[in-house]
Amino acid sequence: MNNSKFILELIEKKEDLTIKLNENIKSLLEKHNQKLEQLIQRAERKTTNTDAEEFINEILQYREDHKDNDIDDWRLKDKIKASKLYEKYNEWRIENNKEESNQTKFGRDIKYLLPNKRRTRIGYMYFF
């Protein structure tokens, strides 16, 4: 009789643990699904290029189109000071009626297009 009671208690505990485990798994899946949905929404918002990305893409295209030319143009240099690039971006932005952006946002927007940014003795430089 004692053995039967013990076995029944074990079965009840197993059922309780199974229920708790299933609840925990369900809760974890819901949290991960929420995070995944947030990432998807963020990615969908990012499908269009920012003005900064458009500006950099124009520079990169210009470099490709004129790579064999012997032209003295800032867009064809191997490097440019970050503040100078931002200054050129602001000129382009005004000419193209684009919204104003601060230097931090500009740097963040172009980070993956121009990943070679280093601190030098004269300031931050982008290397093409």
Closest Cα to residue 50, out of 94, 87, 99, 1? 99
- 78: nearest Cα among 116, 52, 107: 116
Place of tokens 């059922």: 15
Are residues 66 and 84 both part of a single domain?
Answer: yes
- 83 and 36, same domain (yes or no): no
- Supply the angle between the helices 82-95 and 51-65 in degrees, to the nearest 10: 100
Listed in sequence order, the residues at least 6 apart from 110 whose beta carbon sits closer than 8 Å to its beta carbon are: 52, 53, 55, 56
Are 113 and 66 in the same domain? yes
Same-domain pairing of 3 and 65 = no
pTM check: above 0.75: no
Instruction: Write down the pLDDT at residue 27.
Output: 83
Residues 117 and 59 in one domain: yes
Residue 57 and residue 116 in one domain: yes
- Cα(17)–Cα(9) distance, rounded to whole angstroms? 12
**pLDDT by residue (tens digit) across 2-56?**
777 878 888 888 888 888 888 888 888 888 888 777 777 666 655 567 899 999 9
Question: In the numeric block, which tokens belong to residue 23?
Answer: 């609840």
Domain range for residue 26?
A: 1-47
Same domain, residue pair 34 and 60: no
